[in-house]
């Protein structure tokens, strides 16, 4: 019997959540008898009862009700049964290692049974008693459609709508790739966009035109990401080969010196990623640090979606684990890009600083501004976490809003105790310099306020500064370049007060 | 694996028996002694008590290998791997009578040496068991080999762990253990596939863009050599087990590849033949997990029906591809 009082939590679950009923009838009532629910018990995870009632499915907090009837579970015998779906590669290479790390952290044993290339069974067992805590069906999209299991977790490269709740668990990026023996090192993004969308390319304008083109199959949903380079037509080049398997795509590109492919950073294989360049000649390489900082324009996200209802405890614990620094170090070992906050030293940024000096105006004001900026930044290190804004506004984009929480958590965890954190605002080069300085100041201020609201009590010195268009990262002549340039960087340095 | 569980249980009983005798004789000697100085090894007594208490219970207490290993590790190296520890002479007098023809006692000897490329040179000399099967176990790998007519065996076993524990089960259910340090293993990628009985799955590595049938395609018919790994220019496949029991294929690749960056694609393949169609292929796949430990995956693969004869089932997701430095 499970007792206790207080409020009754009723949650209606979507109709898709029809679990296999394997237990009998129960009556769940508040101890004072004020409310009772009868029905067939679907599951009990130690915290929540799920009951099929005449009104539909109901989830009840076990702390608030007493269970009566033959179907009442033995609290020690409960097993959370979960289905998770997604591309098998993500399940196998990202979720399974995270689950294994989670198990080690929790004193559990992770067991993996491989039934086919898109169907795995995982179980979590107590290390000491060998009692099964959770049984997890991990299914590729085809398997999941066939098995009709209630799916509560999804791993995906696409966002999901309510009632799903989402966490970004890893970063990735769209990259243009060529064979290692192809001499091309960079590609103009306008050329790339035209080639990949089947538009004509003026041979006089670009020195190299590629041979065979390899694209991800449209059903993988990756081509939309290219829209950040400019508008897309819906058609692909007729001669392009569409690949459902990105490893095969990379293998084909790597073995053909004339080929050009588009794939994900995590699936480059033996091919080589190209630097994306803009009309001003400034380019952005696809590297871990540039993707993490979203300086690279085609960053992609890997999401863990969970149903927006009460989850078995083990799922909630897993989701919490995935957010931890330890989980991010697992992500780093899997070939995906983690979100742990890293540092890029001033010395590592020599190239972009040289660029900015060369691009600076000739007047005294420009020179003194440059000196002011270098003085402010030279003793620090830039954090990989960067804040970016919607066009022409001081409104943070989606990823940057979650970065607020990530940075505030790190500050509250003491990661920057005794240091100074400088929020340095930058703008694109569109418009008048004074106005840009003001805009970048407002953006830096906005981030500072959001952070200090959550983490203002930490023993960290916060500072705000702005430098307008002084340190561009990409070309202002293209949309994606301006977006990359509009940013608030965070610099950490020793607090010498 | 079941075999080992059973062996452990027998062994547990044997230890209980040994300790009982030790206890009893200790008591007798103690009462005979002039003063009350205990003659029983007090190091043994605390362990004996719980074991004795549990002796009547159903067999759920296979002695964990780690627990039995500890005291062995603490003894001088010369006493390590004494099979006779598990089979004390006074308890089993019939074994005293077991002598090899030349009069030497029936004693199995396990010797391990560290070889290049993280390989354990493993030699067994058990003259009392000519032409008999032995089971070798290491980090989740199971291998069955047959001793030669003189009771000898010599194999090269790629270590899966820098501190490699090797266990050998002899035909009379006694064991030999060795622990060998091979720091070099840290510098290697190693994956393994092991199964019992008929082989259905085969391990394949495509190194740095190699296609099927090319030089960099390493599998049982083209295994490469440890020398490639020592030189940092490629991997090699080791196949162990003589087919009478458990067999394993182990693939090794250097973490610091001397040539370039890229990936080694790893897969398992199963051909649909009249012998494999419609069957369930079972195997264990072992690979390093993201935290540096070893993760074993149990494969339970339903093979296609016999109408699909000649087709090949390709498992791309069983192993994670090896991403070389810089990625």
pLDDT at B80: 43
Number of residues that make up chain A:
497
Burial class (CB in 10 A: 0-12, 13-18, 19+), B214: exposed
Please list the alpha-helical segments (H only) found in A187-338.
189-196, 246-254, 288-292, 313-322, 325-333
pLDDT of A451 strictly over 60: yes
Query: What's the rounded Cα separation, in Å, for the pair A386 and A368?
Result: 25
DSSP B42-98: TTTHHHHHHHHHHTTS-S--PPPHHHHHHHHHHS-GGGSS-GGGGS-TTT-HHHHH-
**Cα angle at A381 between A380 and A382, to 5 degrees?**
125
Query: What was the pLDDT predicted at B307?
Result: 94
Give the end-to-end CA distance of chain A in Å, rounded to a whole number.
Answer: 61
Residues of A in contact with B320 (CB under 8 A): 92-93, 334
Q: Which residues of B touch A180 (CB under 8 A)?
A: 260, 262
Partners of B323 on chain A (C-beta within 8 Å) are 335
Task: Give the closest-approach CA distance of B278 to chain A in angstroms.
Answer: 14
Instruction: Residue B191: list chain A partners with CB under 8 A.
Output: none
pLDDT at A217: 92
Whether pLDDT at A21 is above 60: no
Taking the CA atoms of chain A, what radius of gyration do you get in angstroms? Answer: 26
Measured from the Cβ of residue B63, the count of other Cβ atoms closer than 10 Å reads 17
- Residue B76, Cβ density class (10 Å: 0-12 exposed, 13-18 middle, ≥19 buried): exposed
Task: Please report which confidence band the pLDDT of residue A58 belongs to, taking 50, 70 and 90 as the band edges.
Answer: confident
| Span A197-226, average pLDDT | 79
Between residues A78 and A313, the one the model is more confident about: A313
**How many A/B residue pairs have CB atoms within 8 Å?**
78
Cα–Cα distance, B73 to B181 (Å, whole number) = 13
Q: How far is CA A332 from CA A150, A338, B81, B207, in A?
A: 31, 5, 41, 22
Length of chain B: 327
The separation between CA A140 and the C-alpha centre of its own chain, rounded to angstroms, equals: 20
Is the pLDDT reported for residue A47 higher than 80? Answer: no
B290/A112 touch (CB, cutoff 8 Å), yes or no? no
In this structure, are residues A338 and A94 in contact, taking their beta carbons and an 8 Å threshold? no
- Which residue matches tokens 């863009």? B209
Tokens 């008048």 belong to A432
3-state secondary structure of A279: coil
Instruction: Look at strands A260-264 and A164-178 and give their pairing.
Output: antiparallel
Q: How buried is residue B30: exposed, middle or buried, by Cβ count under 10 Å (0-12/13-18/19+)? A: middle
Q: Which residues pair with B247 in a beta bridge?
A: B195
What integer pLDDT is reported at residue B52 of this predicted model? 35
CA–CA distance, B230 with A193 (Å, rounded to integer): 45
Rg from Cα positions in chain B? 23
Q: Chain B: nearest CA to A182, how far in angstroms?
A: 15
- Measure the CA–CA gap between B283 and B278, rounded to whole angstroms: 16
Q: Residue B234 and residue B224: Cα distance in Å, rounded?
A: 8
pLDDT at B50: 34
**Residues of A with CB below 8 A from B296's CB?**
112
| pLDDT for the residue numbered A178 | 94
For residue A238, is pLDDT > 60? yes
Q: What is the pTM of this model?
A: 0.78
The C-alpha atoms of residue B136 and residue B120 are separated, in whole angstroms, by 12
Please state the φ and ψ torsions of residue B50, each to the nearest 5 degrees.
Answer: -60, -35
Q: For tokens 């067992």, what's the residue?
A: A125
SS3 content of chain B, % helix, strand, coil (to 5): 25, 35, 40
Write phi, then psi, for B118 (nearest 5 degrees). Answer: 65, 35
Report angle CA A301, A303, A304 to the nearest 5 degrees: 160
**Interchain contact, A113 vs B298, CB within 8 Å:** yes
Q: B118-142, pLDDT tens digit by residue?
A: 999 999 999 999 999 999 999 999 9
Contact flag B320-A112 (C-beta cutoff 8 Å) = no
Q: Give percent of chain A above pLDDT 90.
A: 44
Count CB neighbours of A163 within 10 A: 12
Residues in chain B with CB shorter than 8 Å from the CB of A97 are 289-291
Q: What is the pLDDT of residue B232?
A: 86
A107 pLDDT more than 50: yes
> φ and ψ at A197, to 5 degrees?
-110, 15
B291·A330 Cβ contact <8 A:
yes
**Nearest CA-CA partner of A300 in A216, A175, A481:** A175
Q: Measure the CA angle with vertex A311, ends B295 and A114; round to 5°.
A: 25
Torsion of CA B163, B154, B201, A244, to 10 degrees: 50
The predicted-structure confidence for B264-282, as pLDDT tens digits, reads as follows: 999 999 999 999 999 999 9
Task: Give the tens place of pLDDT for each residue, A352-390.
Answer: 888 778 777 777 777 888 889 999 998 899 999 999 987
Under a CB-based contact definition with an 8 Å cutoff, are residues A107 and B292 in contact? no
- Alpha carbons A37 and A17: distance in angstroms, whole number: 19
Residue showing tokens 């990625």: B327
| Inter-chain touch B300–A114, beta carbons under 8 Å | yes
What is the rounded distance in angstroms from the CA atom of residue A284 to the CA atom of residue A261? Answer: 18
Q: What would the pLDDT profile of B290-312 be if each residue is shown by its tens digit?
A: 788 899 999 999 999 999 999 99
Q: Is B262 exposed, middle or buried (0-12, 13-18, 19+ CB in 10 A)?
A: buried
Work out the minimum CA distance from A112 to partner chain B, whole angstroms: 5
What residues contact residue B204 under an 8 Å CB cut-off, 6+ apart?
Answer: B217, B218, B219, B266, B267, B268, B269
The tokens describing A171, both together, are 């970063």
Banded model confidence at residue A67, pLDDT cuts 50, 70, 90: confident
pLDDT of residue B177: 94
Test the B interface: residue of A106, A117, A248, A254 with most B CBs within 10 Å: A117
Of all residues in chain A, the one with the smallest CA distance to B209 is A270
Find the helix or strand (DSSP H, E) in which B147 lies: none
Least confidently predicted of A49-58, A173-182, A347-356, B26-35: B26-35
CA end-to-end span of chain B, whole Å? 37
DSSP codes joined into one string, A352-385 = HHHHHHHHS-SSHHHHHHHHHHHHHHTTSEEEEE
Rounded to whole angstroms, the Cα distance separating A229 from A233 reads: 12
């Amino acid at each position: 019997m499970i007792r206790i009082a207080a409020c009754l939590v009723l949650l209606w679950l979507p109709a898709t959540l029809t679990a296999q009923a394997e237990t009998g009838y129960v009556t769940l009532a508040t101890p004072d008898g004020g409310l009772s629910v009868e029905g067939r018990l679907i599951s009990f995870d130690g915290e929540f009862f799920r009951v099929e009632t005449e009104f539909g499915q109901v989830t009840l907090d076990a702390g608030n009700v007493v269970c009566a009837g033959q179907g009442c579970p033995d609290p020690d015998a409960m097993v959370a049964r979960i289905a998770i779906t997604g591309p098998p590669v993500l399940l196998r290479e990202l979720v399974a290692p995270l689950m294994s790390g989670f198990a080690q952290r929790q004193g559990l044993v992770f067991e993996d049974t491989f039934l086919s290339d898109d169907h795995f069974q995982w179980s979590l067992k107590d290390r000491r008693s060998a009692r099964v805590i959770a049984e997890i069906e991990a299914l590729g999209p085809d398997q999941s459609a066939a098995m009709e299991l209630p799916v509560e977790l999804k791993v995906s490269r696409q966002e999901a709508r309510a009632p799903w709740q989402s966490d970004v668990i890893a970063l990735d990026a769209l990259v243009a790739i060529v064979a290692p023996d192809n001499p091309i090192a960079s590609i103009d993004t306008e050329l790339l966009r035209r080639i990949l969308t089947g538009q004509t390319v003026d041979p006089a304008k670009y020195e190299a035109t590629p041979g065979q083109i390899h694209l991800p199959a449209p059903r993988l949903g990756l081509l939309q990401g290219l829209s950040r380079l400019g508008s897309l037509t819906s058609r692909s080049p007729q001669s392009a080969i569409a690949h459902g398997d990105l490893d095969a795509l990379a293998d084909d590109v790597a073995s053909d010196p004339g080929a050009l492919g588009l794939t994900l950073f995590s699936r480059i294989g033996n091919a080589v990623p190209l630097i994306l360049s803009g009309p001003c000649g400034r380019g952005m390489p696809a590297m871990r640090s540039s993707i993490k900082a979203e300086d690279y324009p085609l960053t992609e996200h890997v999401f863990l979606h969970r149903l927006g209802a009460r989850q078995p405890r083990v799922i909630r614990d897993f989701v919490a684990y995935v957010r931890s620094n330890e989980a991010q170090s697992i992500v780093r070992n899997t070939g995906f890009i983690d979100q742990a906050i890293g540092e890029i030293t001033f010395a590592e940024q020599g190239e972009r600083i040289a660029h900015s000096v060369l691009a600076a105006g000739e007047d005294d004001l420009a020179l003194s501004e440059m000196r002011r900026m270098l003085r402010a930044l030279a003793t620090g290190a830039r954090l990989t976490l960067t804040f970016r804004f919607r066009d022409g506004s001081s409104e943070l984009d989606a990823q940057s809003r979650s970065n607020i929480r990530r940075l505030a958590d790190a500050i509250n965890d003491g990661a920057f105790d005794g240091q100074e954190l400088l929020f340095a605002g930058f703008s694109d080069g569109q418009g008048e310099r004074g106005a840009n300085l003001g805009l970048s100041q407002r953006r830096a201020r906005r981030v500072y306020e959001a952070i200090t609201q959550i983490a203002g009590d930490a023993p960290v010195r916060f500072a705000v500064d702005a430098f307008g268009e002084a340190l561009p990262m990409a070309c202002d002549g293209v949309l994606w370049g301006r977006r990359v340039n509009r940013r608030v960087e965070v610099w950490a340095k020793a607090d010498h007060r | 694996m079941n075999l080992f569980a059973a062996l452990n249980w027998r062994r547990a009983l044997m230890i209980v028996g040994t300790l009982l005798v030790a206890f009893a004789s200790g008591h007798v000697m103690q009462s005979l002694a002039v003063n009350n100085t205990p003659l029983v090894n007090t190091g043994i007594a605390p362990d004996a008590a719980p074991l004795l208490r549990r002796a009547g219970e159903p067999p759920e207490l296979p002695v964990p290998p780690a627990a039995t290993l500890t005291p062995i590790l603490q003894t001088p190296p010369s006493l390590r791997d004494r099979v006779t520890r598990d089979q004390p002479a006074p308890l089993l007098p019939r074994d005293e009578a077991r002598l090899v023809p030349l009069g030497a006692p029936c004693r199995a000897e396990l010797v391990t040496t560290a070889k290049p490329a993280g390989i354990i040179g493993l030699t067994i000399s058990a003259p009392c068991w000519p032409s008999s099967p032995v089971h070798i176990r290491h980090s989740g790998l199971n291998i069955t080999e047959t001793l030669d007519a003189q009771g000898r065996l010599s194999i090269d076993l790629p270590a899966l762990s820098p501190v490699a524990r090797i266990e050998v089960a002899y035909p009379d259910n006694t064991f030999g253990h060795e622990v060998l340090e091979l720091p070099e293993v840290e510098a290697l990628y190693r994956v393994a596939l092991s199964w019992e009985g008929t082989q259905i799955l085969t391990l394949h590595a495509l190194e740095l863009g190699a296609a099927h049938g090319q030089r960099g395609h390493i599998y049982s018919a083209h295994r490469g050599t440890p020398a490639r790994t020592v030189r940092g220019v490629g991997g090699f496949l080791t196949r162990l087990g003589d087919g009478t029991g458990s067999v394993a294929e182990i693939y090794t690749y250097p973490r610091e590849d001397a040539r370039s960056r890229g990936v080694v694609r790893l897969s398992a393949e199963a051909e649909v033949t009249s012998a494999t169609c419609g069957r369930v292929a079972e195997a264990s796949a072992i690979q390093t997990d993201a935290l540096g430990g070893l993760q074993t995956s149990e494969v339970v693969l339903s093979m296609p029906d016999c109408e699909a004869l000649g087709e090949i089932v390709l498992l791309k997701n069983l192993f994670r591809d090896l991403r070389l430095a810089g990625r």
